[in-house]
Amino acid sequence: MTIAARLLRDRRWSTLWWALGFVGLTLFTVALYPSIKDQPSFDELLADLPDAFRSAIGYQPSVPLSSPAGYLQARLFSTLAPLLAVVFGIGAGARAIGGSEEAGTLELLLANPVTRSRVLLERYLASFGLLAALVAVLGVALLLLAQPFGALEGVPTANVVGACVAVFTLGLLHGSLAFAVGAAAGRRGVAVAVATAVAVAGYLVETVLAAAGDLGIVRQLSPWHWYLDRNLLAEGAALAAVLLPLAVSAVLVAAAWALFRRRDLR
């Protein structure tokens, strides 16, 4: 795993800053919880807001916003946490092959006695191993920092773990798409553009467009629907939020492998 180890060394400092950002975000989020705890006025306000806004923050009438599960879902798990995971995943996936080829370093690496398949696999595992580490930091920080503020009161630890796993798989899916496009096109910018467009389109379908009317099968195909279909902390992550992104990611990696092995490097 020499290739993977090298990538991990090269990105250790940037990943550390990301991890510190996740810890800071978690602390800021849980520290605000006492100010809205047992405040039913927030739920009354949300009841009067458009459905698109309520969908965007993952609000469900059965889970009050003033409860730990409702608050953390709205403030963290339906917005910032998945957004950051998707951004990191797309960036990591686009750089792994496409970014390296564009920078001219991939050809130098392949001049060594290593196969393309090995380079592809090790860089994929290292890139999304970093994403998994960041999400693990988020989960541990939440479990530790939420206790003094009562921000996880009544929320099972298993649900917190499940929510973090769902965040990871959402980032993995979009990152895998960027990885596959980068491996096929050899361009980081193209990979970022395609994966970002898919992420934005999926989010809009699940929130704004779904609130405007029934989208049927289109909504069912959105990864954001798999993720936002329920309150992760109150009900636990649905199997679809974990297994479907993993399955799609596996298909994308297989496609990346097939395309990358057969084309000439730029």
184-198: b (≥16 Cβ within 10 Å) or e: bbbbbebbbebbbeb
The region of weakest confidence among 86-90, 148-152, 208-212 is 208-212
DSSP assignment of 206-259: IIIIHHHS--THHHHT-HHHHHHSS-HHHH---HHHHHHHHHHHHHHHHHHHHH
Helix extents (H) in 149-216: 157-185, 188-204, 210-212
255: its two tokens: 């496609």
Instruction: Write down the pLDDT at residue 104.
Output: 84
Question: For 2-19, what is each residue's pLDDT tens digit?
Answer: 889 989 999 999 999 999
The region of weakest confidence among 5-9, 135-139, 204-208 is 204-208
DSSP 148: G
For residue 81, give the nearest of 197, 145, 166 by alpha carbon. Answer: 166
Question: How many angstroms separate the CA atoms of 143 and 153, rounded?
Answer: 11
Instruction: Write down the pLDDT at residue 112.
Output: 86
pLDDT band at residue 138, thresholds of 50, 70 and 90? very high
Question: For 32-46, what is each residue's pLDDT tens digit?
Answer: 998 888 776 666 666
pLDDT value at 210 more than 60: no
